[in-house]
Amino acid sequence: MPLLHSGRRRTKLDRKYNGPPRQGPVRHISPAQLNLERVYEQNRANVQKRDATKLPEPAPGPAAKGKPRLLLMGQRRSGKSSISSVVFHKMPPNETLFLESTARIQKDSMHSFMDFQVWDFPGQVDFMDPSFDLDAIFGEIGALIWVIDAQDEYLEAINRLNNTILNLQPTYPNINIEVFIHKVDGLSDDYKLDIQRDIMQRIQDELSDHGVENAPINFHLTSIYNHSIFEAFSKVIQKLIPHLPTLEALLNDLCRSCRFEKAYLFDVLSKIYIATDPSPVDMPSYEICSDYIDVIVDVSEIYGWGRSPEYITSLEGEPWNTKIEDQVACKDAESAIVLTDMKRPIMLREVNKYLALVAVMREGSFERMPLVTLNVDTTVQGLAEVFEITKQKEARG
Ligand SMILES: Nc1nc2c(ncn2[C@@H]2O[C@H](COP(=O)(O)OP(=O)(O)OP(=O)(O)O)[C@@H](O)[C@H]2O)c(=O)[nH]1
């Protein structure tokens, strides 16, 4: 089962990441190197223009053409590297205390249901410096995530963010700017909202003073010590998914036909949800679904095992003679559980090696389980097809 192999986590004991080979190597790139890659890409495009039959190899480790980029920016020690490590490398939040300050831009390639990159900028870098090629940084951007430490003095961070927006607006007016008001753990709800209001007001005032109205800026209250950081990233990533409305429509149909309370399509490794039905997301249901993935992955790690080809052949051999997937109800990971306090079953179904469908059912749904399984099967096929079609389109494009 791919799910069983894809969820391995970084453990405290061995202190090293033992997950799947999903994350590419972290690259450290200097501004000069960025420029070089840019020049290489330009030459490559020119060569192709002159002779369409010739397409030189991409630059070694290029600024990965066509892959949306998430840029993590903000003041020093605001929590950028911690966010990236917790969300994409399964680092336990407490261990971020030992992270060293980032000295150079760190570039991380994510190969999941969709390929994208996460660039972690050192807090002290001024990328408005003329030595930076802005197009190389902001050219293929998916979102600019600006991290503000809510437990620290934040006026300087807001000034820098305002300057950045004002500098980028003329050339890149459509950049999605996501402000993470970070480290809100330990702050009271009222205080969090006060801070958010204050930060929003200051940014809006400054921008409208400079004639910039309706810039695409979103605000999220986040912390690595709870699920808020995953929720915020879910919303950021969803904006990069071109077929999101189709995925949402499929999940909506499933919820209506099976009378589910809520359904999420999760990226298994990061536990970001990449789509959900249109009913409002409530944190407890999201948390429970996300924790359920961990439970399944943990159980699979203990009790799952790799079946040798001989073993599979022996199962498929005489007298049974049917393929292994035809002998079981479902060849992918599948599970359902009832939580005693809420009496509502939760079900999980693997979609492909990166994605899992997790849904909160209503009380008594177990009685209609055959119908539910049938509908879930159809939805999962639909979801898998959407990704297959998009992949083919990307390969052709
Ligand atoms: N309380 C709290 N602390 C956090 C949170 N996120 C990060 N931290 C802490 O903030 C400190 C700085 O985090 P880093 O991730 O190194 O910050 P950075 O922005 O990458 O810093 P530079 O690399 O210097 O730019 C670490 O001690 C983290 O443990 C959070 O959500 N809550």
What is the CA(50)–ligand 1 centre distance, in A? Answer: 49
Q: Ligand 1 in contact with 82 (CB < 6 A)?
A: yes
User: Is the shortest distance between the CB of 97 and ligand 1 below 6 Å?
Assistant: yes
Q: Is 223 in the pocket of ligand 1 (CB under 6 A)?
A: yes
All structural domains of the chain, each given as residue ranges with its CATH number in brackets, are 2-238 (3.40.50.300), 244-396 (3.30.450.190)
Ligand 1 centroid to Cα of residue 126, in Å, is 19
Q: Is the ipTM of this complex over 0.95?
A: yes
Residue nearest to atom 10 of ligand 1 (CA): 79
Per-residue pLDDT of the chain (397 residues; tens, 9 = 90+): 444 444 444 433 333 444 433 333 334 445 555 455 555 555 555 554 454 444 444 333 333 455 788 889 999 899 999 999 999 888 899 999 988 888 888 888 887 777 888 888 887 777 667 777 777 777 777 889 999 999 999 899 999 999 888 888 888 887 889 999 999 998 999 999 999 999 999 999 998 888 888 788 999 999 999 989 999 999 999 988 888 999 999 999 999 988 888 999 999 888 899 999 988 888 888 888 888 888 888 887 787 777 777 777 777 666 666 666 666 555 566 676 766 555 778 888 888 878 899 998 887 777 777 888 888 889 998 988 888 776 666 665 5
0.80 exceeded by pTM:
no
Cα-to-centroid distance, 221 and ligand 1 (Å): 15
Q: Supply the residue whose CA is at minimum distance from atom 3 of ligand 1.
A: 183
Q: SS3 string of the chain? A: CHHHHHCCCCCCCCCCCCCCCCECCCEEECHHHHHHHHHHHHHHHHHHHHCCCCCCCCCCCCCCCCCCEEEEEECCCCCHHHHHHHHHHCCCHHHHHHCCCCCCEEEEEEECCCEEEEEECCCCCCCCCCCCCHHHHHCCEEEEEEEEECCCCCHHHHHHHHHHHHHHCCCCCCCCEEEEEECCCCCCHHHHHHHHHHHHHHHHHHHHHCCCCCCCEEEEECCCCCCHHHHHHHHHHHCCCCCHHHHHHHHHHHHHHHCCCEEEEEECCCCCEEEECCCCCCHHHHHHHHHHHHHHHHHHHHHCCCCCHHHHHHHHCCCCCCCHHHHCCCCCCEEEEECCCCCCEEEEEECCCCEEEEEECCCCHHHHHHHHHHHHHHHHHHHHHHHHHHHHHHHHC
Q: Is 224 in the pocket of ligand 1 (CB under 6 A)?
A: yes
Q: Is the CB of 94 under 6 A from ligand 1?
A: no
